[in-house]
């Protein structure tokens, strides 16, 4: 399936631009150890990423995606995680193959670019800066910038308003069901990368408009777009 030429493109962070799970898993496991509990390891933690760090900590405490931990345990654990992640935001995180090339193409082709993530701003900005991609984006909407985060459409609509581009002329690029739902609710087109974090499920199940192998593959699709 093809896409229509957009006037603006928003890109997700975790699982799309950045493989951030090595740092997130390190911090979850250190937190678990400090609480006197067993670490989970990267494979388990990978399926819990995508709804912000608070949700990640809650999931780690109960060892599953859905449900709530004991509130007192969460109150103890959360600040431990925040301190750890502040120290380990980008130590082990890397850009996925094709990201730099894709961003260079999109910038050179003149697309206004924004970043929309569920990661809290205190981590998003240092991560983007440390990995050398902060300057590509005209706006960064983090998980705590607005009242709502993805899958709510508000962060996408906020960025569209910032760029003065209508949602129908806008494209979201992401890796998870939250990106697809937010894009659909906002009236954006949605392209997904298959290598990211979608709670262990193939993103094709969510039926995005298009799945591309790497961000660099967006070039060919945009050049063919109507
Ligand atoms: O869950 C997070 O912290 C961020 O996830 P996202 O960048 O894929 O929105
Ligand atoms: Mg993501």
Write down the ipTM of this complex: 0.93
Token digits for 145? 């910038």
Residue range 156-214, pLDDT digits in tens: 999 999 999 999 999 999 999 999 999 999 999 999 999 999 999 999 999 999 999 99
The three-class DSSP label of residue 118 is: coil
Active site residue 12: yes
**Could you tell me the pTM of the whole model?**
0.97
Q: Do domains 8-19+93-224 and 21-87 have the same CATH topology?
A: no
Extents of the domains making up the chain? 8-19+93-224, 21-87
Q: Which of 84, 135, 83 is nearest to 114 (CA)?
A: 135
Q: Is 39 helix (H, G, I), strand (E, B) or coil?
A: coil
CATH of domain 21-87: 1.10.150
Choose one of 17, 19, 52, 56 to mutate for the ligand 1 pocket test, by most ligand atoms within 8 angstroms of C-beta: 52
What is the atom index within ligand 1 of the atom nearest the CA of 120? Answer: 3
Q: For residue 200, count other CB atoms closer than 10 A to its CB.
A: 11
What is the tens place of the pLDDT at every residue in 136-166? 999 999 999 999 999 999 999 999 999 999 9
CB atoms within 10 A of CB 136: 19
Task: Retrieve residue 5's tokens.
Answer: 């030429």
Decide if 187 contacts 167 (C-beta within 8 A). Answer: yes
Tell me how far the alpha carbon of residue 121 is from its chain's centroid.
12
List helix spans (H) across 19-111.
21-34, 42-46, 53-62, 71-87, 99-108
Ligand 2 centroid to 213 CA: how many Å?
15
47 belongs to an annotated ligand binding site: no
Return d(Cα 106, Cα 172) in angstroms, integer: 13
- Output the DSSP codes for 146-176: SS--TTSSHHHHHHHHHHT--GGGEEEEESS
Report the top-level CATH class of 8-19+93-224: alpha beta
Strand partners of residue 113: 9
pLDDT for 1: 66
Which is the closest atom of ligand 1 to the Cα of 150?
9
Q: Tens digits of per-residue pLDDT, 52-81? A: 999 999 999 999 999 999 999 999 999 999
Please tell me which residue in 7, 12, 19, 179 is annotated as part of the active site: 12
């Amino acid at each position: 399936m093809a896409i229509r030429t957009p006037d603006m493109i928003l890109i997700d962070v975790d699982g799309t631009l950045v493989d951030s799970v090595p740092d997130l898993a390190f911090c979850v496991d250190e937190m678990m150890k400090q609480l006197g509990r067993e670490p989970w390891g990267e494979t388990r933690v990978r399926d819990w990423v995508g709804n912000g760090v608070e949700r990640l900590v809650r999931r780690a405490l109960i060892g599953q995606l859905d449900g709530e931990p004991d509130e007192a345990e969460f109150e103890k654990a959360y600040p431990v995680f925040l301190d750890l992640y502040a120290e380990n935001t980008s130590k082990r995180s890397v850009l996925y193959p094709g990201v730099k090339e894709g961003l260079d193409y999109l910038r050179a082709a003149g697309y206004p670019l924004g970043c929309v993530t569920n990661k809290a701003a205190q981590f998003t900005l240092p991560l983007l800066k440390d990995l050398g991609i902060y300057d590509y984006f005209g706006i960064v909407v983090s998980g705590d910038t607005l009242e709502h985060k993805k899958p709510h459409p508000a962060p996408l609509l906020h960025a569209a308003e910032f760029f003065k581009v209508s949602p129908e002329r806008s494209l979201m690029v992401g890796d998870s069901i939250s990106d697809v739902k937010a894009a659909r609710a906002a009236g954006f087109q949605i392209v997904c990368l298959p290598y990211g974090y979608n709670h262990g499920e193939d993103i094709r199940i969510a039926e995005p408009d298009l799945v591309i192998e790497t961000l660099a593959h967006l070039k060919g699709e945009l050049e063919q777009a109507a």
